[in-house]
A and B are shown apart, each in its own frame.
Chain A
């Protein structure tokens, strides 16, 4: 559904952010695009949305070239940006002027999502709090029913109950013909909803795996001693170690996203090597 082929891009001519970047994302999945601050997550989303032009290579969404910015391409996705400005209009007016551009927009769904988020539908959009505005955009993005929904740091500004509601709503909004990308550096916020992980580091995709394949190869354990298992990465806590170990036998553990992320970004490459064959 999304194909990025040999993408080269840099904000400055002599400083490349992406060099020969390749990525393929399939429909029916929720991808967690993870990376540290400044790793290029937002830029990658902008490239996918056709808001930036590549220096070379191409980005395709549903077969449509991102650089074309054609109506069909733009109607294929909805982007919930991290920073946004909302007009001084009521939510109803906002829907009235924006929804007709999305052929599969479902107004009933939109108001249902807002109700689930416990967001008021009266009053002006620009008078709402940042978190409330974000909920309106998330509800709109989901109700737009675009094949691709991209969100950049969607949980920023959401309170704890809203974060868990966000996870629930996102998971319920996914259908077999849709693809969601959630870009974040707050790994814990998307635990339990994503089914694939893409990690971006210094402009390179260093990890792109589904949770099934991660579960097939790794286990996440709390150990008293590192000699107990075949440890690929560990973090020392007070008297124990949080460890990523090679999976042996039929055991399976809950994936600790934060630990996995750290093992890939901060580790010695042992975890990544497990997936290289």
Chain B
């Protein structure tokens, strides 16, 4: 009887000790996602590297030039594998049955979002890059005896890091799409982007046309944004009209979409 009482007390103590946020739970969620999606991602990656091998093989029969450009292979593979991983985000929301199990799993929404986010951005970049380096090294070793000089990828360049950042921005949009659309989220997100992009373009053109009319009627039809008088000798790239949207795009877009994804996840019902 005393033992049973102690057990009940111990159980309730453990329940009370549950923290609102736990980084350990984020890693547990990531582990769960890796376990459940590993086969899907590995199949995708095998296909990507299989295609690389076929291309390199036929190129070796031709002039072997492609072997010297591993950077291009890295970028192309990054985009394709990135889309595969994007398809993996929130797969547990795709069906009613899976969503029930996922939404009732004891972890907060923030932890669930963070796990998906880390896995599809930082986790993916590290995993893909590591696999690519191993592949690159193999290609280097295999090619050397046949006089095929594969270069070794250098990721420590400004362009590569900018590419990562752009990927993270795209990923934030795709993550929001995955949290929004139950069926075919990748396609529907890209389609929505196209529709919104086209609508924005039309609005900008209409505004520009109406401004054109205004400038012409005000006798300012020759005013150009790049005019020295307007820029006062500044590099157009550094002008606030260029800088502000650029900074907004680079540093606001992703967090904004992450917030949207959080609320989309919060409003999910099964």
Interface residues of A, Cβ cutoff 8 Å to B: 46, 49-53, 62, 69-72, 74-79, 81, 83-85, 87-89, 93, 96-98, 100-104, 145, 147, 175-177
Q: Contact between A102 and B95 (Cβ–Cβ < 8 Å)? A: no
Q: Contact between B106 and A101 (Cβ–Cβ < 8 Å)? A: yes
Q: Which A residues lie within 8 Å of B107 (CB)?
A: 71, 74, 101
Given the complex of chains A and B, what is the CA–CA distance between A41 and B104 in angstroms? 18
A81 touching B15 in the complex, CB below 8 Å, given contacts A71-B25, A101-B25: no
Q: Which B residues lie within 8 Å of A71 (CB)?
A: 18-20, 22, 25, 106-108, 111
Nearest-CB distance from B24 to chain A (Å)? 8
B100 within 8 A of A: yes
Q: Contact between A97 and B32 (Cβ–Cβ < 8 Å)? A: yes
Q: Contact between A74 and B105 (Cβ–Cβ < 8 Å)? A: yes
Q: Contact between A103 and B108 (Cβ–Cβ < 8 Å)? A: no
Most buried by A among B95, B101, B106: B106
- Choose one: B32, B36, B96, B104; the contact of A50 (CB below 8 Å): B104
Q: Which B residues lie within 8 Å of A145 (CB)?
A: 11
Nearest-CB distance from A93 to chain B (Å)? 6
Tally A-B pairs: CB < 8 A: 93
Q: Contact between A83 and B108 (Cβ–Cβ < 8 Å)? A: no
Nearest-CB distance from B132 to chain A (Å)? 27
Number of chain B residues close to chain A: CB under 8 A: 36
B28 within 8 A of A: yes
Q: Contact between A81 and B97 (Cβ–Cβ < 8 Å)? A: yes
**CB closest chain-B residue, reference A53:** B269
Residue pairs across A and B with Cβ atoms less than 8 A apart, 5 shown, are: A69-B108, A71-B108, A72-B15, A89-B35, A101-B106
Interface residues of B, Cβ cutoff 8 Å to A: 4, 7-8, 11-12, 14-15, 17-20, 22, 25, 28, 31-32, 35-36, 39, 95-98, 100-101, 103-109, 111, 266, 269-270
Chain A interface, DSSP helix/strand/loop, else mixed: loop
Q: Contact between A70 and B15 (Cβ–Cβ < 8 Å)? A: no
- Besides A71-B19, A74-B106, 8 new A-B residue pairs in contact (Cβ under 8 A), listed by A number: A50-B104, A51-B269, A52-B270, A71-B106, A98-B105, A101-B107, A102-B106, A104-B14
Q: Which A residues lie within 8 Å of B96 (CB)?
A: 83
**CB closest chain-B residue, reference A74:** B106
Q: Contact between A51 and B270 (Cβ–Cβ < 8 Å)? A: yes
Nearest-CB distance from A48 to chain B (Å)? 11
A75 touching B15 in the complex, CB below 8 Å, given contacts A70-B20, A89-B35, A89-B36: yes
Q: Which A residues lie within 8 Å of B109 (CB)?
A: 69
Q: Which B residues lie within 8 Å of A79 (CB)?
A: 100, 104
Nearest-CB distance from A18 to chain B (Å)? 15
Q: Contact between B4 and A51 (Cβ–Cβ < 8 Å)? A: no
